[in-house]
Structure 1
Amino acid sequence: MKNKRPNILLITSDQQHWNTIGAFNPEISTPNLDRLVKEGTTFDRAYCPNPTCTPTRASIITGKYPSQHGAWTLGTSLSEKHTTIGELLGKDEYRTALVGKAHFQQVTPTEEHPTLEGRGTLHDYEFWKKFNGPYYGFEVAEMARNHTNEWLVGQHYVLWLEEQGCTNWRDYFAAPTGTMDENKLYHWQLPEKFHYNSWIAERTNELLESYKEEDESFFLWASFPDPHPPYLVPEPWASMYDPNTLTIPHVMPGEHDQNPPHFGMTQQEKPDFSSYEESGFSIHGYHSHQVFTEEEHRKAVATYYGMVSFMDEQIGRILDRLEELGLAEDTLIVFTTDHGHFFGQHGLQFKGGFHYEDLLKIPFIVKYPNVVPANTRSNSLQSLVDLAPTFLSFAGLPVPGAMTGVDQAAVWREPELSARDHVICEFRHEPTTIHQKTYVNERYKITVYYNQTYGEIFDLQEDPEELHNLWADERFKDLKMELLLKYAWAELGKEAMPMPRVSHA
């Protein structure tokens, strides 16, 4: 057992399907993630607490569920009053940094809810020249908000583009920030050397070098925005995969017959989801196979795989530099993503209020030489809400009672153990109409909807593709009652205890 507290390197992607690691899927090439698989433990039953960016990313740094930290959906912000993992480690003399995507705040500033990550500040480059933290407990924060060519491009990434001599960077991004035709897909003309993946790897390595030189413990989050759509990637990655040779998922005939009504609506040519829109903003994720022709669908999957492979190469740069600096032996590495992705599974695209494994289950690899077993796979349940308490535990620090994630340190050391018998996944995209929660245990999964009598039950052992919803099947009414009770217990169990009871009154 090591006595020195570890450095912590968190590497995340954005919206990456769990089955996009070459070690487990021969149709995709990810040699550097495969390397982590061989050198660490892969947890095959890891889940996000919410299948969208802001809620889950806020959970990663607070150790709380979205229903507890308040950033409950996209278009909200995490209150800066919350205690974060970066803040706690920083107080104990860890150097802390975030490079890449943050997305802790909404895009549109208001008087009541200002934001550093939205219109106005996002493109105020004089501001970003002077600001690189602190931000949500990170001593250093160097950020990029865009996915591929989105108009949200700005912050520190644009400053780096200018420094690299890419003065025509607007040609590669969509209006109103840039001039690129947003209808162009798949092959992105942006040179690979100017991609934000390259910037994230470069800045991460420079920070590693400074920590090595100063002999300081660190918590460093390298946060890649890919492979989140739009589907765009530079060459050679854009043509790396032949669309005609890939396995392309599709909806199975009749699979939504027993599902809640919004599932079937996605399969209509022009579905009308206006009745679900309470907030006045468009809803995310109600996309079906109707979005693409078969040819477009295949090209999209090939490009998505190319985005994963390009990111993998840049992750390899970080792993190589960590070893070259002699830091690898003393560094706890976690690779994961914020949530999953649909690229045709169940006739769905992208993300939304559909709690299939494709969207909730995530890739999750842990490496810590001589502490976390190498070349090991585990079915022990994990959740991203567990990262903050587990990192604190490895650092030898107490876990605050306000954190409701589970300390997984013992499980990471001995993956045959379990710290959880269930996970909870939340999705609340509108105040009432799109509000659901899912309870998942070793075998079963149940999803309940606010103010609705419909729901979902899937037997993940007998029906791993989740094609047969058992909710309304009378043969499983006892199972339904049992799972509803276990879900209620789980909700009670995840309530925070900010302090212990210390007296009679």
Structure 2
Amino acid sequence: QLKWSALRLYSDLGIKTPAIERLAKEGVTYKYAITPHPLCVPARTSMMTGRYPHSTGCRLNETLMPPNTNHAFKIWKDNNYFTGLIGKNHCFTDSDDLALFDVRCEISHTGLPTGGYVGENVGVQGMEWGYSNEQITLAHKTRKTLQTNTQSPTIAYACSDYPLEHYSSSLIASQSIDFFNRYKNGKLNNTFTDVNKKPFALMISFPDPHEPYESPREYVNQFPINEITLPPQRDDEFTDGTSPERNRVLAKIMRQDFDKEQHKKGLIATYYSMIRFLDDGIGRILRSLDDLDLRKNTIIVFTSDHGDFMGEHGMSVKGGLFYDCLVRVPLVISWPSGGVPQGIVDESMANTIDILPTLLQLQQINNFESDLPDWDTASTINKPKVTEERINAFHGKPLPIVTDSKPRNATFSEYGAGGSSFTMKHLDKMPKPYGYKTLLETLWAREAEGRRKMVRTKDWKYVTDPMAYGATLSSGTDGGAGNVDELYDLKKDPWELHNVAFDPLNASIISEMRYLLAGWMIETEDNKPLTLPMTMGRDMTNR
């Protein structure tokens, strides 16, 4: 849940992260990387498949990777990679998929999996944790009871004093370093001994930063609240008559209008401390790769599944909207020895579904044509030029700069599963005061409602919901705007505080954005891609 602007690498409001900044100096930073869906499971399954959620069917946090789906670890396993997942899963649950991992050590937001959520799998595979289950569970005790914290009914946060090595961010780094050591020494399992003959693919997945917002005291103390700057705000953002009803619903649940400023800043300080803690873990991982002489042949991708309000629009956490704080994520790709340029910032539009095709291209597992080839006749065709896997199966495309692919001027995100709207009328029936408890009590309805789509260019963002067609500025259940369209002028309004969709001067912009959306929806419409014909017609030479 790491938003782009939390890093000094991207924003003056962000914090310094030496390890991530080292990766940026040794690679390519994508300035405008967008998640295909600002929710954990849909974002992760899309990243692993290179396909949007409307194609994978993973639209909710309870719809995990479907069985028999082609994804990254199937491809890597088929190509004789040693595979591992250390940290948060929230993607794979099918037994055949879990069997693809030679090493699997899962830990999530409140500690080791206990079987309470379908996206987490109890037990380990291929390696044991370096500390006992009891030690790890104790270090996550505060998180399990955090909602009893009384700073604010809206959201809770805390610092704690358990041994640093037992927290998930340190634990995952240590486990990853152990993986590298075993890999280097040929001791990961009994069937693998030669490091030079079998490459590895390892997903290191830090649960933080994410609620429950809790961090070790020594990290929280690095961010005094008097040094925290709140992001720009607009008091009447949700009351000026232009905000869609679902945005107003979320604001009514999670706006910190009545919280003390010290608590708003204290929450952000805790979030920043979680980031600094994981950055230290990344630094340890990079040093380990250097020490073991593995770095030169290792491609590193750093990204996040989605973001977090964390003070923007007066809120924290997330909730099915498309502000940049939720959909824009950091993305860095580094492989100096493999010819990836160093210290470059790419300003074209990127998406995390582009990561898998990019990796397969760099690994020389697959070659993606940048354009469809011209038609051949049956008599001149020698070998297939267009295959289902190379052209149709992935919605993502190799990223520019690290490959020869062309830059893109637009990218997309989506949310919703076609459910009915959750409205102010529904919210008014919920017990007060509202806050994080309300967020969870309404979660499934808000995840499922509508079929909203977003297109973003460098200068503009447009959001629409085809299921809300006909919504007006007075069609909401509270007499305000219904689920109307959103348009943000990102040059004039980078913090997206003014919805200008109803300004007549922007009609041509909306037409252009709708054209981009229509093209994207057509391009990605096939759930099971068709293999294109390789010739223009039948060979009638001998008939």
TM tier relative to shorter chain: 0.7 to 0.9
Counterpart Cα distance in 2 of 1:480 and 1:24:
28
Residue 343 of structure 1, aligned match among 303, 310, 328: 310
Counterpart of 1:441 in structure 2 is: 457
Number of equivalences: 447
3-state DSSP of counterpart to 1:439: strand
1:298-337 correspondence runs (5 A): 298-337=265-304
3-state DSSP of counterpart to 2:333: strand
Counterpart of 2:436 in structure 1 is: none
Counterpart Cα distance in 2 of 1:253 and 1:369:
47
Letter in 2 for 1:18: W
Counterpart of 1:405 in structure 2 is: 395
Quote how far apart the aligned CAs of 1:265 are: 3.7
Which sits farther off after the overlay, 205-214 or 322-331?
A: 205-214
Counterpart Cα distance in 2 of 1:161 and 1:396:
32
Cα 1:369/1:161, change in 2 over 3 Å: closer
Quote how far apart the aligned CAs of 1:178 are: 6.5
Which sits farther off after the overlay, 219-228 or 389-398?
A: 389-398
Task: Tell me if 1:208 matches 2:180.
Answer: yes
Task: Provide Cα deviations, 1:315-356, integer angstroms capped at 9, x if missing partner.
Answer: 111100111111111111111100011012112221112101
Quote how far apart the aligned CAs of 1:142 are: 1.6
5+ residue gaps, structure 1: 1-14, 106-114, 117-130, 269-285
Letter in 1 for 2:184: K
Quote how far apart the aligned CAs of 1:211 are: 2.9
Counterpart of 1:364 in structure 2 is: 331
1:216-235 correspondence runs (5 A): 216-235=198-217
Task: Provide Cα deviations, 1:235-284, integer angstroms capped at 9, x if missing partner.
Answer: 3112110012111126303333212123234444xxxxxxxxxxxxxxxx
3-state DSSP of counterpart to 1:45: strand
3-state DSSP of counterpart to 1:167: helix
Counterpart of 2:486 in structure 1 is: 456
Cα 1:41/1:168, change in 2 over 3 Å: closer
Letter in 2 for 1:241: F
Residue 171 of structure 2, aligned match among 188, 191, 199: 199
Quote how far apart the aligned CAs of 1:156 are: 4.5
Counterpart Cα distance in 1 of 2:220 and 2:273:
6
Letter in 2 for 1:387: I
Rg (Cα) greater in structure: 2
Letter in 2 for 1:294: E
Task: Tell me if 1:237 matches 2:219.
Answer: yes
5+ residue gaps, structure 2: 150-155, 186-193, 369-388, 422-448, 472-483, 539-543
Counterpart of 2:532 in structure 1 is: 500
Counterpart Cα distance in 2 of 1:390 and 1:17:
22
Letter in 2 for 1:479: I
Counterpart of 1:83 in structure 2 is: 70
Task: Provide Cα deviations, 1:77-133, integer angstroms capped at 9, x if missing partner.
Answer: 22121011111121111212111111026xxxxxxxxx57xxxxxxxxxxxxxx9x8
Counterpart Cα distance in 2 of 1:209 and 1:162:
14
Quote how far apart the aligned CAs of 1:292 are: 4.0
Task: Provide Cα deviations, 1:404-461, integer angstroms capped at 9, x if missing partner.
Answer: 33332553246xx744221110111662423311011232211011321311111212
Quote how far apart the aligned CAs of 1:296 are: 1.5
Quote how far apart the aligned CAs of 1:171 are: 4.2
Task: Tell me if 1:40 matches 2:56.
Answer: no
Contact 2:307 2:328 in 1 (8 A): yes
3-state DSSP of counterpart to 1:300: helix
3-state DSSP of counterpart to 1:343: coil
Counterpart of 1:474 in structure 2 is: 504
Higher relative CO (Cα under 8 Å, sequence separation at least 6) belongs to: 1
Residue 426 of structure 1, aligned match among 409, 414, 426: 414
Contact 2:111 2:136 in 1 (8 A): no
Letter in 1 for 2:533: R
Quote how far apart the aligned CAs of 1:148 are: 6.3
Cα 1:84/1:166, change in 2 over 3 Å: closer
Counterpart of 1:264 in structure 2 is: 248
Contact 1:47 1:383 in 2 (8 A): yes
Which sits farther off after the overlay, 464-473 or 139-148?
A: 139-148
Cα 1:81/1:201, change in 2 over 3 Å: same
Contact 1:172 1:178 in 2 (8 A): no
Counterpart of 1:282 in structure 2 is: none
Counterpart of 1:375 in structure 2 is: 343
Letter in 2 for 1:499: T
Contact 1:337 1:363 in 2 (8 A): yes
Quote how far apart the aligned CAs of 1:147 are: 4.2
- Identity of matched residues, %: 26
Quote how far apart the aligned CAs of 1:20 are: 2.3
Quote how far apart the aligned CAs of 1:204 are: 1.3
Task: Provide Cα deviations, 1:23-53, integer angstroms capped at 9, x if missing partner.
Answer: 4456523111111121111110101000010
Cα 1:494/1:148, change in 2 over 3 Å: same
Contact 2:244 2:485 in 1 (8 A): yes
Counterpart Cα distance in 2 of 1:396 and 1:158:
28
3-state DSSP of counterpart to 1:379: strand
Quote how far apart the aligned CAs of 1:462 are: 2.5
Quote how far apart the aligned CAs of 1:502 are: 4.3
3-state DSSP of counterpart to 1:335: strand
Contact 1:150 1:173 in 2 (8 A): no
Task: Provide Cα deviations, 1:200-232, integer angstroms capped at 9, x if missing partner.
Answer: 112212222233333131111110000011110
Counterpart Cα distance in 2 of 1:82 and 1:459:
38
- The TM-score, its normalising length taken from structure 2, stands at 0.75
3-state DSSP of counterpart to 1:97: strand
Quote how far apart the aligned CAs of 1:397 are: 2.1
